[in-house]
Amino acid sequence: MTSVNAVTRQIAALEISNTKKPASTARAPATKQAAPPSGNFTKLLTKYAAPNPFTNASNKPTNPSSLRHPTPATQPAAAKPGHAAQRSIDIGSYDGGLEIDNEKRGERVYGEAAEELALDSSVSKKHPTREWSLHDFDMGRPLGKGKFGRVYMVRTKAEPKYIVALKTLYKSEIVQSKVEKQIRREIEIQQNLRHPNVLRLYGYFHDEKRIFLMLEFAGKGELYKQLSKYHRFSERRSSRYIDQMADALIYLHGKHVIHRDIKPENLLLGINGELKIGDFGWSVHAPGNRRMTLCGTLDYLPPEMVEGKEHNEKVDYWALGVLTYEFVCGFPPFEDRNSVNNTYRRIAKVDLKFEDKDVRLSEEVKDLITRLLRYDPQKRIPLTEVQKHPWIVKYRPKETVRDST
């Protein structure tokens, strides 16, 4: 199978001119839109992750034939030189998993649930796409399994043959778990997000039993697997991830989106190792910014959620502090493997310790973690200040500019 690096080299060799800019969405007034990615990464987005390939330019739903005969308005100008090279990219061997699963699991749903889960991006009011079906893809290797189905690497059959990750969700299992509204909300939130460190949802469609999500292909996979492999990351690597996280969270909060489940398992890595926030299952669009629902992962819950109090976007500040600690130490700061209740107590008391003899941390990273993990949400360091923190600035690549004024 062609390696990720080989894919990058082949794309770079095409010398594609990036004439079409990705669609962008304005940030909150306090921040400026992040600079678009450059170099090989821009070329990769243009040709494979496809920043804007499936949008219906006329803003009206089209029939399936429009994909097979793209109009000049929707086909990237630089697509033709790369056609042969794209066909040569190995997406891996399909294992027949969708057919096997469809025989063994899931049932057709009816009534209100069927209407709730009849999700199709071609009839979306904000960003309608072309009409899609499973027959429009060449199936590739499995990328993983989720609670409600599998994820596959696929390529569109029509030119210019974009590569995406296709995620399957079984409707009846969603209904059994009573998360119809949550799934619908997750999809609606993610479809409207445009940021280089947020996993893109390009489109979605459904059949009698399943929902299919067309997601950006994160070439280097799950960050959690990297963390498990190395146990912990260097401060340099951790700092660069947290810098990207802060920028993405500023963007999300500017859209009144609180993620509420930041953790390594919900983060992916792009083809150049850039971080991507995925899985918006617990996210909420909350213009009022006050919520009461207890959700997320225990080790990452802030005191206000543990104590059942109202919470706002600053729960993500706390989670960023926990994430920073886990990156550099290899385990969450308040984890007690012997007792869930002890974990709750340590969170509520903010029982933060830096005592691992095997890990020597800089005073700078300790300072940032301490300033994020404050009991009072109002006293947590703002994300714009995180971007200016000495530990972040120290390791930021020179070519990266963060304007947080």
Query: Which residues 6+ apart lie within 8 Å of 362 measured at CB?
Result: 235, 391
Residue 304 known to bind ligand: no
137 belongs to an annotated ligand binding site = no
Average pLDDT, the chain: 78
Q: 46 Cβ partners below 8 Å, 6+ apart?
A: 16, 18, 20, 76, 78
Picking from 190, 320, 307, 164, the residue whose alpha carbon sits closest to that of residue 247 is 320
Does 216 appear as a known binding residue? yes
Largest Cα–Cα distance in the chain? Answer: 63
If asked whether residues 171 and 283 sit together in one domain, one would say no
Question: Is there a domain that residue 15 lies in?
Answer: no
Burial 320-357 (b: 16+ CB within 10 A, else e): bbbbbbbbbbbebbbebeeeeeebbebbbebebebeee
Structure tokens at 346: 């340590």
* CATH code where residue 103 lies: 3.30.200.20
Domain annotation covers residue 168: yes
In a domain, 2, yes or no: no
CATH of the domain at 386: 1.10.510.10
Q: What mean pLDDT do residues 203-217 have?
A: 94
Q: How far apart are CA 101 and CA 113, in angstroms?
A: 21
Task: Categorize the per-residue pLDDT at 340 as very low, low, confident or very high, splitting at 50, 70 and 90.
Answer: confident
> Known catalytic residues?
261
Q: Please state whether beta strands 257-258 and 284-285 pair in parallel, antiparallel, or not at all (unpaired).
A: antiparallel
Q: What is the pLDDT of residue 125?
A: 84
Predicted local distance difference test score (pLDDT) of residue 186 = 84
CA distances from 211 to 64, 151, 167 (A): 18, 12, 8
Res 133 pLDDT > 90: yes
Query: How many domains does the chain contain in total?
Result: 2
Contacts of 85 (CB under 8 A, 6+ apart): 10, 11, 13, 14
pLDDT in tens, 39-65: 343 333 333 444 445 555 444 333 332
Q: Is 167 annotated as a binding residue?
A: yes
Picking from 215, 246, 277, the residue at the C-terminal end of a domain is 215
For the full predicted model, state whether its pTM sits above 0.85. Answer: no
Consult the annotation and say whether 312 binds a ligand.
no
Residue span of the structural domain in which 318 resides: 223-395
- Residues 260-277 have a mean pLDDT of 91
**Does 326 carry a binding-site annotation?**
no
Give the domain-ending residue among 215, 247, 277.
215
Average pLDDT over residues 212-235: 92
Three-class secondary structure of residue 53 per DSSP: coil
More confident: 17 or 150 = 150
- Span 247-259, mean pLDDT? 93
Query: What's the pLDDT at 13?
Result: 38
- pLDDT digits 0-9 by tens, 282-292: 433 334 433 33
Q: How far apart are CA 258 and CA 266, in angstroms?
A: 14
Which residue, 180, 215, 250, sits at the end of a domain? Answer: 215
Return the higher-pLDDT residue of 123 and 71: 123
Q: How many residues does the chain have?
A: 405
**What average pLDDT does this structure show over 241-246?**
98
